[in-house]
A and B are shown apart, each in its own frame.
Chain A
Amino acid sequence: MPTPLFIAQIGLTLFVFVMLLSSAAGMVYVERKVAALLQQRIGPYLVGPKGLLQPLADIIKLMFKEELRPSAADAFLFALAPIISATCAFAAFAVVPFGGDTTLLGLIPGGLRLQVADVNVAILVVFAIASMSVYGIVLAGWSSNSKYSLLGGLRSSAQMISYELSYGLALAGVLLVGNSLSLTDIVNRQAGTWLGFIPHWFVVVQPIGFLIYMTAGIAETNRAPFDFPEAEQELVAGYHTEYSSMSFAMFFLAEYVNMVTVSAVATDLFLGGWHGPFLSESIGWIWFLLKVAAILFFYVWMRWTLPRYRYDQLMRFGWKILLPLAVVNLLVTAAGVLYFGS
């Protein structure tokens, strides 16, 4: 007889999976609507009320498209690449806590933490999975046996390796301040306020770290203005030029789920996770959702506001500005922690 806690854990895992899937679909709609807003259009409005069923129509369209594969492609790796991308995107969210303990209206004695797996090195796991997700893109580019795909894949791996360093150093700043590698501990250190109104969030003590994290995070997820792997004017569609139907959909899904994960980790690390005024801790996940939604909106806003960088600008910015800034930020943080105590 499985205990209620065990059933709840399984349920939670499935719930997170389904929520990530639907958040990707939701983001497609938000992306289109916000793009339309910024360009003074209406956006999708025909399918369903206010176009709300548009993502569903997109999915159905993708499912019924023909699955094409170039005859010179490496069949096994061509099939494997989108799977790696999608798996990495989902796996990272496993260690992200998104709420305090809940008893689910008293059904679970002892309470259940809203996190799939509480790992004590959670930050490093997020970083490790981010560094693995580059393989999906590189292999897609290589196995397609097409020049656009290969160039897109190479560009993306160079970009991700370059920005991973700054990403990791920004994470290191937070773990110095939070004095822990566990995301749950870090969120709990951010409870409370200074002087009664400034929230105890790490964005206040790590403003530069937050900027570096978000910049590197946008570059890691290959979103505008860093969307070089799929710079359509130069590379058709980059690494997924040769992909169609559901294998293309997997890359698409991976991109949106990665955005959600980067936003969720940013919320946990810098914006106090599920802590906020007015709401008790048991329904703190509402705060968490609001913060994630705000960052996601920012993501879309950036995409339709800023033009794409040139590739040499991207590399120069990553290595000559962002990385030194991240190193200085880490040094200053370490000195501060040493001097004031954490």
Chain B
Amino acid sequence: MTPFYLFAAIAVGASLLVIAQRNPVYSVLLLIASFGALSGLYVLLDAPFVAVIQIIVYAGAIMVLFLFVVMLLNAPHEETPYDEQVHPLMRPGPMRLGAVLALGLVVELIWALEKGAESGRFAGGAVSNVGAIGRLLFTEYAFAFEVTSILIIVAMVGAVVLARREGAR
């Protein structure tokens, strides 16, 4: 039980610190730490495959792009004196949006807790079986899988169109 509390504490603590940072580079790093702790939780749940995929996809690929963008923008501090005095989260816009999002999260949590644990298709240690995951993904969840891939391709095409300069071949 102890490792669970260790990883859970790191995940929650790091996530809180992500939004408390002024420097976005530190926020990115703390988010990576949080993902690492989540991956530890997956290992405790006997799902090493999910744990490693979490690291490869989120911590390894997506966060590198985040870091890239943050570094290229190179905006460790906000410029104006007002911005320097008031924490970004304390400004009116983020406060209102944050309130709405928090309300949504609370509703979602209550809904999830009400519903209780759904009887898992993967009981026990079966999640580490990559073959079983693949078979399910391409049979039972094939539709969701293909829709996701189309979504990603649309996003890629969109990014290429946006990045292409007008007049360039």
Partner of B128, one of A121, A131, A138, A153: A121
Task: Answer yes or no: B144 CB below 8 A from chain A CBs.
Answer: no
A239 to chain B, nearest CB (A): 12
Q: Interface code B11-55, partner A: CB below 8 Å = 1, 0 otherwise?
A: 000000000000001000100100000000000000011001101
State the CA gap A161–B67 with chains docked (Å): 13
Please tell me if the beta carbons of B32 and A150 are within 8 angstroms of each other in the complex. no
Of the four ranges (under 10, 10 to 19, 20 to 34, 35 or more), the interface on chain A belongs to 20 to 34
Task: Answer yes or no: A94 CB below 8 A from chain B CBs.
Answer: no
Please tell me if the beta carbons of B64 and A121 are within 8 angstroms of each other in the complex. no
State the CA gap A154–B61 with chains docked (Å): 15
Task: Answer yes or no: B152 CB below 8 A from chain A CBs.
Answer: no
B90 to chain A, nearest CB (A): 25
Q: Which residues of A contact B59 (CB under 8 A)?
A: 128, 131-132
Task: Answer yes or no: A296 CB below 8 A from chain B CBs.
Answer: no
Task: Answer yes or no: B56 CB below 8 A from chain A CBs.
Answer: yes
Please tell me if the beta carbons of B52 and A125 are within 8 angstroms of each other in the complex. yes
Task: Answer yes or no: A5 CB below 8 A from chain B CBs.
Answer: no
A143 to chain B, nearest CB (A): 8
Please tell me if the beta carbons of A121 and B71 are within 8 angstroms of each other in the complex. no
Task: Answer yes or no: A135 CB below 8 A from chain B CBs.
Answer: yes
Partner of B71, one of A119, A120, A142: A142
Task: Answer yes or no: B142 CB below 8 A from chain A CBs.
Answer: no
Please tell me if the beta carbons of A138 and B49 are within 8 angstroms of each other in the complex. no
Question: Closest residue to B68 on the A side, CB-wise?
Answer: A157
In this complex, which of B25, B52, B61 has the most chain A Cβ atoms within 10 angstroms of its Cβ? B52
Q: Which residues of B contact A138 (CB under 8 A)?
A: 64, 67-68, 71
State the CA gap A57–B49 with chains docked (Å): 44
Q: Which residues of A contact B112 (CB under 8 A)?
A: none
A335 to chain B, nearest CB (A): 16
B136 to chain A, nearest CB (A): 17
Residues on A lying within 8 angstroms of B by beta carbon are 74, 77, 119-121, 124-125, 127-128, 131-132, 134-135, 138-139, 142, 150, 153-154, 157, 161, 181
Chosen A-B contacts, 27 in total, with CB atoms closer than 8 Å, are: A77-B25, A120-B128, A121-B49, A121-B52, A121-B130, A124-B49, A127-B52, A127-B56, A128-B52, A128-B55, A128-B56, A131-B55, A131-B61, A131-B64, A132-B55, A132-B59, A132-B60, A134-B60, A134-B64, A138-B64, A138-B68, A138-B71, A139-B25, A139-B29, A157-B64, A161-B64, A181-B49
* Given contact pairs A121-B48, A135-B67, A181-B49, a sample of 4 additional A-B residue pairs in the complex whose CB atoms are under 8 Å apart: A77-B25, A135-B29, A154-B71, A157-B64
